[in-house]
């Protein structure tokens, strides 16, 4: 399960020179919500749990690397931990699943203190408590530079539910479950938009910062869509790499064309105002910014009104933003001047590095 970092972890006047002390402190943060299902918890060589009857197991892994996915000058240790778990829970949401467990592995350089590391776990705990997710264990190793956090999340979904990228059919409605572009605008704000005179940011801009630093996984929305997936063919993806990328994944997997109506995209007035101040086209963030962690999918026309009502009953937004047609897996942006081909605009780890 957990292993020690080198031989000793030192933070200011605090030190832990034994892995079991570290395990004990970290484990004390997390409440066991699934004690009856967890046969062997944190602390042994491996964990053992009993899956719920009639449920398929959903497993996902995401890795965050310092300097690429997060910067210490723009995110606190607590926020880094929160986000590391959030991105995984968003993947489970995109499958219509309910998160149950997670495992954390970290490669830690010498310039991270013990207190900072514990704050990472506390950030995860905050989100774990919201969704009643249990920590199953993990691993820690030393590394020369740049913190690496890898989280594996486990969830469950009814065995007859399939919310897949490949489920889109011609003639369906394209939808998203939240606003787009706020996270990318929030990152830009942190890097370039702070007042030079040291004055605090306007309160309204906190929406953008929160979207980048503390995204909220749309698990409840995914569970709602899972109910409809038993009756209708629904495709689903989460917006992690940008709407243009996720829409292209759905189009390619389903063999349909996806048309995004620019005028229907849900964009906050705060984002539009900030983009105007920065002299940036807001749709570069809306279509390609990524890390919004809302859900995007397609559903039959006859299901959409019922879906709107179900979402409204729980005070969740539901935005139709386009449609699907017969095609060859292309995505189109439809505006006042007609349609243009929309290629993936999001971040590609094998093609580029973040600024």
Instruction: List the binding residues.
Output: 45, 60-62, 69, 91, 121, 138-139, 165, 238, 240-241, 291, 347
Treating both helix axes as pointing N-terminal to C-terminal, what angle do 219-229 and 301-313 enclose, rounded to 10 degrees?
Answer: 140
The Cα-based distances of 138 to 58, 62, 246, 304 in angstroms read 18, 14, 30, 41
Considering only CA atoms, which of 127, 119, 129, 107 is closest in space to residue 6? 107
Q: What are phi and psi of 83, to 5 degrees?
A: -70, -35
The DSSP output letter for 42 is: B
- Backbone angle region of 197, left / alpha / beta, with phi > 0 → left and psi within -120 to 50 → alpha: alpha
User: Which residues, 6+ apart, have CB-to-CB distance to 124 below 8 Å?
Assistant: 81, 82, 84, 85, 102, 104, 135, 151
User: Which residues, 6+ apart, have CB-to-CB distance to 149 below 8 Å?
Assistant: 63, 64, 80, 81, 84, 104, 105, 106, 120
8 Å CB contact between 23 and 138:
no
Residues at the binding site for ATP are: 121, 138-139, 165, 240
Residue 98 to residue 186: CA distance in whole angstroms: 28
Q: Output the six-digit token pair for 225.
A: 């869509």
Residues at the binding site for Mg(2+) are: 45, 60-62, 91, 139, 238, 241
Residue 320 to residue 318: CA distance in whole angstroms: 7
Residues at the binding site for substrate are: 69, 291, 347
8 Å CB contact between 80 and 149:
yes
Q: What are the residues facing 64 on neighbouring strands?
A: 149
8 Å CB contact between 341 and 331:
yes
């Amino acid at each position: 399960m957990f292993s020690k970092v080198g031989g000793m972890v030192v933070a200011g006047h605090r030190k832990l020179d034994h892995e079991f002390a570290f395990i004990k402190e970290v484990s004390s943060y997390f409440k066991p919500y699934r004690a009856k299902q967890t046969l062997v918890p944190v602390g042994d060589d491996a964990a053992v749990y009993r899956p719920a009857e009639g449920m398929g197991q959903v497993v996902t892994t995401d890795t965050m690397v310092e300097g690429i996915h997060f910067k210490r000058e723009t995110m606190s240790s607590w926020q880094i931990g929160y986000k590391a778990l959030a991105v995984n829970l968003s993947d489970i949401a995109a499958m219509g699943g309910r998160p149950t467990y997670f495992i954390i592995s970290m490669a830690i350089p010498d310039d991270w203190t013990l207190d900072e590391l514990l704050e990472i776990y506390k950030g995860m705990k905050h989100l774990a408590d919201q969704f009643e997710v249990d920590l199953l264990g993990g691993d820690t190793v030393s590394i020369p530079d740049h913190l690496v956090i890898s989280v594996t999340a486990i969830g469950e979904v009814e065995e007859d539910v399939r919310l897949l990228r490949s489920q889109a059919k011609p003639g369906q409605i394209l939808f998203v479950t939240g606003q787009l572009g706020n996270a990318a605008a929030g990152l830009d704000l942190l890097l370039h938009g702070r007042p030079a005179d040291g004055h605090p940011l306007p309160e309204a801009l906190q929406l953008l910062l929160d979207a980048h630093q503390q995204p909220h996984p749309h698990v409840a929305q995914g569970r709602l869509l899972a109910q409809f997936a038993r009756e209708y063919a629904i495709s689903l993806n989460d917006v992690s790499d940008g709407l243009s990328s996720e829409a292209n994944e759905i189009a390619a997997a389903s063999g349909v064309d996806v048309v995004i109506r620019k005028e229907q995209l849900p964009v906050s007035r705060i984002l539009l105002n900030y983009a105007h101040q920065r002299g940036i086209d807001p749709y570069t963030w809306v279509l390609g910014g990524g890390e919004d962690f809302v859900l995007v999918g397609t559903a039959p026309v006859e299901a959409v009104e019922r879906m709107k009502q179900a979402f409204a009953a729980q005070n969740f937004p539901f935005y139709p933003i386009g449609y699907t047609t017969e095609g060859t897996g292309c995505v189109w942006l439809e505006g006042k001047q007609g349609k243009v081909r929309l290629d993936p605009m999001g971040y590609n780890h094998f093609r580029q590095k973040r600024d």
